[in-house]
Amino acid sequence: MAFFDEGIYDPLTGLLAPLYFYESSQRLISWAERTGRQTALISIQLGELNDAQIIKCASDLNVELRGGDLLARMSEKIFVLHLIGDLLGAKQLIFRLENKINADLAFAAVELEKGEEISSALKRLGV
């Protein structure tokens, strides 16, 4: 999978590329810690979707996001969403996404622990 714009966006979906996702997530975590907020990660396994379905899925997911949420394509068949909120909020968003997006998707969520690195939380998600 190739990325363009110095690793900022995925060329197929226009979502954040992994390198820029890590950088942006660090800023989101710092902001959340300063304001006493939680953040959570949602992994989205894409299943057996073709390129057109992946593009539609990315677009449908983007429509559901709030300002400040980060959505990235981490590998060929995995998206990750980093959002402001706790595990309950992540599960509520998953419920909403499952009911709005008609695609072969599997979701998992974790809440970042205080001081936890993004890479550690991604490992807990299996990403």
Amino acid 21: pLDDT: 95
Amino acid 104: pLDDT: 80
Amino acid 99: pLDDT: 87
The domain segmentation of the chain, as residue ranges, is: 18-33+46-125
Q: What is the pLDDT of residues 29-49, one digit of tens each?
A: 999 999 999 999 999 999 899
**Which residues in the chain land under pLDDT 70?**
1-6
Amino acid 5: pLDDT: 47
Residue 16 has what DSSP assignment? B
In Å, how far from its chain's centre is CA 121? 12
